[in-house]
Chains A and B, each alone.
Chain A
Amino acid sequence: MFFNINKLALGVVLIAGSISSCKKLLVIPQNPPSSITQQEQFADSATTMSAVAGVYTYDPGSGFAYSDGSLTYCAGLSADELSPIISNDVQQFYSYNLTPLNNEVTNLWGYPYQSIYEVNAVLSGITNNNGLSTSFQKQITGEMEVVRALYYFNMVNLFSGVPLVTTTTYAATDRLPRSPATAIYAQVKADLNDARKKLTATYPSAGHLRPNLYTAVALLAKVNLYQGNWQNAYNEADSVIRLGGYNLEPNLNNVFLDGSVEAIWQLPANALYNVYTDAANFEPQYAGATPNYQVTPFLLNAFETGDQRLQNWIGSTSVQNQTLYYPSKYKNISPTATPVEDQMILRLGELYLIRAEAAAHLSNLTQALADINAIRQRAGLSPNPADGASQTTVLNAVMRERRVELFCEWGNRWYDLKRTGTAAAVLGAEKTGFSANAELYPLPQTQIQLDNLLIQNPGY
């Protein structure tokens, strides 16, 4: 409509959008060229395996959390295993002045949740899916539950209670409070107990790169140990050791290699250069280079004389006439076509020590000592004498053996100090600045701002 009043122009334009008549003219493909929809992703077992492969991909954020090695060095700095040479964000773990703006803390919180989302997405994609066989659904469900349990187990040990997310619907998860630690542990155990029913002893693929029945049982043993359920922990560790078909690697330098007989669950470092990040983080990059982290004198002095683990698992280098020691369980820093070393998630050595600790608490001192001695013998040490041993001395021996066997692996020392209630005594004596509040990491500041139901840990 256009009124042409002489000096006054008035225009009205009206466009009503109606696409219904255009439908037949346009054929819109279902998905953009470089991605597929969720329905297509879980249409059959082959495409589902791509999503499963995504869960195991060696990349925190889009794949397997903790594959950047940050749990190892952050928890190692918080405990008495490592001291930093380079400062900034990691220094705060060592000197107990962490702030909620710390970048490492943001990733220790964020990456697992991104990975948990992927796991939940696979679980929802395969449940009640008629395109997949029942046995396939069972297998994948079991595997995903083990992965999710691993993440929540580490989250609850680093932060205490965290939001419990088991669905991919963001409207249900964007405003969640922190669930109490007991609820998180309950979820971990529920996942592992269900996985036990679904998984078999046979590994679903070549090597020990995906969880099987004994992976679930081994992780459950560790969880029960942490909760003080000694009998369950004993039984579960026992079944893995006796029935799993694993062996302790006699040569210390072979323990962390791809294909190690000691591996219950390993993750291949399939990345651009196929170098596992612990090696990249800890090994000096060239002869005479300063390593990023030093092993503390406390850890060095914890080794007995003749302990081959000091020779084989701790490296030393001379920088400006000073000898510096660094963790060297993973040594390969040269790019290779296929990974030489895999990220060890669970290994038999740890299970021996779990059984030993559970046995000691159940007053089965003979069994406890036998297990400790199996580990000691592999390390080239003489066995611990049995006579005069009381429950206390055996427990101390177990904790001591855990310290020198499991150092710089998955935060074991940090978790052990906290769960035994000895963190304040041990760390308070060795370093300054430790307080009870330092036992938990702060929640990232950005997360609290995005979900105001999250309450910060005390002291931050």
Chain B
Amino acid sequence: MVILVVLAGWIFTEEKIFKKSPSILSYGKLSGSYGTSGSDGIQAYQYNSLYKIIPFFPAFQGIVPTSPYNLYNPDYSWALKKSLNIALDLGLFNNRLLFNATYYRDRESNQLVNYPLPIQSGLSSVLGNLDATVQNQGFEFSINSTNIKTKYFSWKTNFNLTFNRNKLISFPDLANSSYSSQYVIGQPTSIVYGYKYKDVNPTTGLFEFYTKNGTVTSNPAYGPASIGGDEVPIANQEVKYMGGLGNNFSYKQFSLYIFCQFSSQNAPDYLAEIYSSNQLGTEYNQPTAVLGNYWKAPGDVAQLQRLASSQSSAAIYPSAIKFDQSSGVYSDDTYLRVKTVSLSYQLPDVFLKKIHIKGGSVFMNGQNLLTFTDYKVGDPELPGSFTSFPIQRILAFGLNLKF
């Protein structure tokens, strides 16, 4: 295992050309690195075939039972990661505005994974190396600026933005592996296979999907096209872009920090949870978004399919579970959230000396105060599960004293 890293950096503003002519550019650096590293973040001893005592079960006729808990694979080694990094740092207006742009490209191969196996092999996965190469490449930008700086007042802003794209570069013999119906070479590893959704048929009232041939049916065939089914890649859950914006204000003893984060991705929405475990007709609470939105009579154009006397009625059940694996349950998940607002007041020294305290401040913290989004029902930061405990809005008040 050889680890090799090559780094280079060039502060070009130190060159004579720059030093001679004044410009708004006070600092500029171009840097890059290329390196290889290995990773092995796995449990120890997995190269042996191991047995463990079956937990929670009493002895069988006085003998403590054990069972195997891993499959025997003695031949695995480090995963290899090759990283390329190029960055540009600029400082303008006497370094009051700092700008950084980075391009990175990581390629990981010979990965250590729990390779999924069919259960006939005895256990559902085995630890081993996967001869696939996955690439993550992207851009990261960040801006730090000191907007105003006077004797008593200052305002600083920082902003960062990330674009990351994941891609499966190579996977020898993908079609014959356990991942054949999950990944496509040249696509991100986060693609989802499912049925291409059309709409609710106004005559039958059932969900309709496109088959691989383009015909329309309420009962598409299971499995990816390679084994004769109608499932195609329908969604890519990669984050398209994400970032944060922070503003820091301070005036004499007061300081105010406001941080917002934003992100955009394609994610499952509330319909994914409704049509998997929360179906209309079961004894669970439903979001108001479904009220009246289901098909009632021939000719209706509705968002959701018809109801029946039971949610597992043969008339509606098959198309309902297929809808849950279709593009119909994915929607855009873009949001901007005011994540943190923190206001604090530094207690003045005069006051502190009187009560013999070295330092103190009073503060008020707010988290998750405001969210701007079009994502319906549920928290955009937790897509696809509106029944789980939501991210809470927290307001905290406090006093900080140093003795």
Contacts and interface: CB of A to CB of B under 8 A. Distances in A.
Contact of B312 (A8, A12, A92): A92
B50 A35 contact: yes
Interface stretch (B52-60, B288-296, B352-360): B52-60
Interface stretch (A237-245, A264-272, A296-304, A314-322): A264-272
A91 B2 contact: no
B52 A34 contact: yes
Interface of B: 1-12, 14-15, 35, 44-45, 48-54, 56-61, 63-69, 71-73, 116-123, 126, 175-176, 178, 180-182, 222-224, 226-227, 310-312, 314, 317-318, 321
B310 A87 contact: yes
Given A12-B6, A50-B66, A169-B72, 10 more contacts: A12-B7, A16-B2, A41-B66, A50-B65, A54-B67, A57-B65, A113-B122, A162-B120, A447-B119, A447-B120
Interface of A: 6-17, 30-32, 34-38, 41, 49-54, 56-59, 62-63, 87-88, 91-92, 95, 97, 99-101, 109-110, 113-114, 116-118, 120-121, 162-163, 165, 168-170, 173-176, 205-206, 209, 268, 270-272, 433, 445, 447-452, 454, 456, 460
8 contacts: A10-B7, A35-B52, A50-B53, A56-B65, A113-B119, A114-B119, A165-B122, A270-B60
Contacts of A165: 120-122
Contact of A54 (B9, B49, B66, B73): B66
A58 B57 contact: yes
B223 A449 contact: yes
Contacts of B68: 38, 117-118, 121, 168
Nearest to B13: A7
A148 to B, nearest CB: 13
A170 B8 contact: no
B305 to A, nearest CB: 17
A17 B3 contact: yes
B121 A117 contact: yes
A53 B118 contact: no
Ordered nearest first, which 6 A-B pairs have the shortest CB separation? A117-B122, A53-B65, A53-B60, A38-B49, A451-B118, A54-B67
A170 B122 contact: yes
Given A87-B310, A97-B317, A117 B54 contact: no
Contacts of B222: 100, 445, 448, 456, 460
A113 B122 CA distance: 6
A452 B122 contact: no
A189 B223 CA distance: 35
Given A7-B15, A50-B64, A63 B57 contact: yes
Contacts of A451: 118, 120, 178
B1 A173 contact: no
A112 to B, nearest CB: 9
A42 B148 CA distance: 75
Contacts of A15: 2-4
Contact of A450 (B1, B65, B69, B117): B117
Contacts of B6: 10-13
Contact of A38 (B2, B48, B63): B48
Contacts of A62: 54, 57, 67
A271 B65 CA distance: 12
Contact of B314 (A97, A109, A110, A114): A97
Contacts of A110: 119
Given A110-B119, A452-B227, A63 B67 contact: yes
A451 B116 CA distance: 10
B59 A35 contact: no
A173 B121 CA distance: 5
B63 A49 contact: yes
A99 B321 contact: yes
A41 B51 contact: yes
B51 A38 contact: yes
Contacts of A121: 68, 122
Between B35, B56, B122, B310, the greatest number of chain A beta carbons within 10 A of the residue's beta carbon is seen for B122
B4 A14 contact: yes
A31 B61 CA distance: 27
A41 to B, nearest CB: 5
Given A38-B72, A168-B72, A448-B223, A32 B67 contact: no
